[in-house]
Amino acid sequence: MPRHLKLVFAGLLTGLFLAALDLLVVATAVRQIAGDLGDLGSVSWIFTAYLLGLTATMPLYGKLGDLYGRKRMFQLAIVIFMLGSILAGLSGSMLQLIVCRALQGLGGGGLMTLPAAIIGDLVPPRERGRYTGLTSSVWAVSSLIGPFVGGLFVDHLSWRWVFWVNVPTGLLSLTLIAAALHLPDRRLGHDIDWLGAILIPVAVCLILLVTTLGGDELAWDSNGIIVLAAAAVGVTALALRVEARAREPILPLHLFRNGIVRACAGATFFLGLANFGMAIFVPLFLQVVNGRSPTVAGLGLAPISLGILVSSTITGRIMTATGRYRWAPILGAGLFTAGCVMLTQWTAETPLALQLLSTATCGLGTGMLSPIVLIASQNAVSHRELGTVSSLVTVSRSMGQAIGSAVIGAVFAVRLDHWIGVLAAGDDLGAISASDLRANPAKIDELGAVAHAHIVEAFERAITNALWVAVPIAAGAIVWALFIGEAPLRDDNDDRSDTVNRAVVNEGVSPSTSPEVAEISLPTGTRDKRILEDRSWRDKTSCIE
């Protein structure tokens, strides 16, 4: 890899590391934050606000990167993220912190989405597989060191450094990108879809609010959830109508007519549905049922990260060497489903080695599916829609994670109440209720020996019941993966080289009507000019200065 390309990747991965680490590093500081700011009841919004800002802006960054240039938008995302981090560390109340976390999320949406699209600018589809291990390593490293770094800051400095540490890291990413990444300025005349830019984030936020608040802070049949759900449906329908009529929509609906893109988005959505719930309940099982320390429980997820790193690296190299990728999502979804089945067999007597093998299997499957569907979807569209399709696939997984955590969490809550009523009906629980135990499992230690044993068994059965829900959801990822077609991976970023591929994979769209291949019928002079532009684009992106 050329030296300047190494610097570009270092800058991109550093920015991605910022957003990935912030999902985990704050968790270790929650108790200290709540004690300092005096508001334990609102701590969940520290995470919810970040998730809302993150997910809502992903589609915008994808489209704006296509229109204004991805380097410019990536730098803007870093600046917004650093500003939110500085203000979060200076917060004097929980409300201020929540608002600043939302601002961090607004920047994090670009940090999560744009690196994949910029890599697509620099590397043709056939070669992208060898770089999947780099992006996967960011998630592996962040998940391993996030809780550890957060603990160090809390123990030796202050919880505020959990946010301030993002500033020097962000400055490093900005410096590397400014110095090494030189992409051509692709700004052309365009109509900005302002209404879509407003409606899509609002629709995403409403959907996330329903799934986040439902069954937790608000009952599913409460008036508040009903109103939010109705608003989510209405705004989503209006956004789809606007996008269908916009000249340059933020989310081009014709992408869903592309069979490969549709299948990739579906597979990663179902993966997210099952994955996030598993990430929540595996550490809970290790702590409550097996009685392991928080450190060991946190390390229980380490095999997932290592499995993702190993399988994504190997799969990417095989894909680059053979030009074949369809087998990877299918096998990956199958391995992930098998791992979910293994999780449902856990008991209080399950050896730690077998538990780690279960989570490693899930990680191996995730690493074979998640990066490959992104490359496959990018390969199936024109280069000018690279950012949009990258954000579409990324948002699909994020939405799946949000909805999955709500669905599996609701099942856990219902089943825990059921098993407590069955197993601990005659026990003396004092003033502790089932809802208290769900919110703070540490209260189990306040119970007597008999009640403690019954409550632990109730947790074991409830978690197992919840994990069983993940099995058919994971199987849904297999079904979607089976529909991922295999178009030949392009050897360059020239739009002309893949017109035949995309005419085939766009179901129901003929080459003469497909918006991606319409350039074939352009007048000769226009077509020649377009070919020169394509060659210029390829030449510039292949020579990073």
Euclidean distance between CA atoms 385 and 170, whole angstroms: 27
φ and ψ of 292, to 5 deg: -85, 160
For 309-319, write each residue's pLDDT tens digit. Answer: 888 888 888 88
- pLDDT value of position 497: 39
Q: Tens of pLDDT along 1-30?
A: 566 677 887 888 888 787 777 766 776 676
Instruction: Write the CB contacts of 37 (distance below 8 Å, at least 6 apart in sequence).
Output: 91, 92, 93, 94, 97
pLDDT band, very low/low/confident/very high, at 40 (cuts 50, 70, 90) = low
Give the C-alpha separation, 249 to 242, whole Å: 8
Which residues touch 8 (CB under 8 Å, ≥6 apart)? 118, 122, 176, 177, 180, 181, 544
Tokens of 35: 């004690």
What CA–CA distance (Å, rounded) separates 1 from 24? 31
More confident residue, 377 or 220: 377
Q: Which two tokens stand for residue 28?
A: 């270790």
Residue with tokens 């520290």: 46
- What pLDDT, on a 0 to 100 scale, did the predictor assign at position 480? 93
Give the tokens for residue 482: 């089976």
**Whether residue 308 has pLDDT greater than 90:** no
Q: Tell me the per-residue pLDDT of 137-158, one tens digit each, with 9 for 90 and over.
A: 776 677 667 666 766 776 677 7
Exposure of 468 in the CB half-sphere (CA atoms within 13 A): 10
CB 435 within 8 A of CB 304: no
What would you report as the CA-atom Rg of the chain, rounded to the nearest whole angstrom? 24
Helices (H), 157-285: 161-164, 166-180, 194-213, 223-245, 259-284
The confidence score (pLDDT) of residue 434 equals: 67
Please tell me the distance from the alpha carbon of residue 90 to that of residue 100, in angstroms, as a whole number.
10
Please state, for a pLDDT cut of 70, what percent of the chain lies above it.
Answer: 76
At residue 535 the predicted structure's pLDDT band, cuts being 50, 70 and 90, is very low
- The residues with which 90 forms a beta bridge, in sequence order, are none
CA pair distance 305, 137, nearest whole angstrom: 8
Give the pLDDT confidence score for residue 541 in this predicted structure.
41
Query: 258 in helix, strand or coil?
Result: strand
- How far is residue 289 from each of residues 285, 408, 453, measured CA to CA in Å? 5, 18, 9
Q: Determine the number of helices (DSSP H) and then strands (DSSP E) in the chain.
A: 21, 0
pLDDT at 296 over 80: no
Question: Considering the domain 255-493, what is its CATH architecture?
Answer: Up-down Bundle (1.20)
Q: Is the pLDDT of residue 528 over 60?
A: no
Provide the pLDDT confidence category of residue 501 given band limits of 50, 70 and 90.
very low
**pTM, entire model:** 0.76
Q: Are 84 and 100 within 8 A, CB to CB? A: yes
For residue 159, is pLDDT > 90?
no
Look up tokens 């020996």; give the residue. Answer: 449
Average pLDDT, the chain: 76
For residue 191, the model assigns a pLDDT of 63
Q: Are 538 and 492 in contact (CB under 8 A)?
A: yes
**Is the dihedral angle over the CA atoms 369, 374, 376, 377 positive or is it negative?**
positive
Q: Find out whether 503 and 509 touch, Cβ atoms under 8 Å.
A: yes
Query: In the 3-class helix/strand/coil scheme, how is 137-160 assigned residue by residue?
Result: HHHHHHHHHHHHHHHHHHHHCCCC
CA distance 314 to 119: 19
| Per-residue pLDDT tens over the stretch 116-128 | 778 877 777 767 7
For the domain covering 1-190, report its CATH number: 1.20.1250.20
Comparing CA positions, the residue from 195, 267, 263 lying closest to residue 478 is 267
**12, two tokens:** 């991109």
Looking at residue 215, what is its pLDDT? 67
Mean pLDDT of all residues in 355-361: 90
414 CB-side CA count, 13 A: 13
Give the model's pLDDT for residue 521. Answer: 33
What is the number of other CB atoms lying within 10 angstroms of the CB of residue 463? 24
β-bridge partners, 506: 258
Asked if 154 contacts 162 with a C-beta cutoff of 8 angstroms, the reply is yes
Nearest by Cα to 159 from 35, 18, 40? 35
pLDDT digits (tens, 9 = 90+) for 398-420: 788 777 777 887 788 888 888 88
Alpha-carbon gap, residue 387 to 118, rounded angstroms: 8
Q: What DSSP character marks residue 188?
A: -
Alpha-carbon gap, residue 44 to 512, rounded angstroms: 52
Determine contact, residues 48/103, Cβ cutoff 8 Å. Answer: no
Token look-up 């203000």 returns 87
Task: Provide the 3-class DSSP secondary structure of residue 164.
Answer: helix
